[in-house]
Amino acid sequence: MKRISVIALALAAGIGVADASAQQRQITGQVTSATGEAVAGANVSITGTAFAAVTNAEGRYTIAAPASAVTLVVRRIAFKRKEVAVPADQNQADVTLEADVFNLEAVVAASATSTAR
């Protein structure tokens, strides 16, 4: 009788894991600047979760996401932060970032200071 309980518990745990992974999807896309250039090194995250990714040299990313509707947050130094709503039935989200002139000046000033040391 004890063996049956252990097997039933193991099967139930396995089904729970399968259900949790079935409730996820992959969102892919590309992050570009307003001029159409790929933005490498941009952080892509999902609001309210620990899911995150970084764009590659071509500005492409893949991020795990819940099966429900989510909001992507895309950040990169020298660009304005952008939030993009992604419906539950969509697995592709391309993002265009606008340059942040004021933030760029702060980055230039900071790097000039650090090289002067």
pTM (predicted TM-score): 0.70
Between 18 and 95, name the one with better pLDDT. 95
Is pLDDT above 90 for 46?
A: yes
Q: Which of 96, 91, 50 is nearest to 74 (CA)?
A: 96
The enclosing domain of 72 has a CATH number of: 2.60.40.1120
Range of the domain at 91: 25-116
DSSP output for 44-80: EEETTSS-EEE--TTSEEEEEEESS-EEEEEE-TTB-
Pairing of strands 95-97, 24-33: parallel
Is 8 among the domain residues?
no
Tally of structural domains, the chain: 1
The number of residues in the chain equals 117
State the average pLDDT over residues 30-47.
Answer: 97
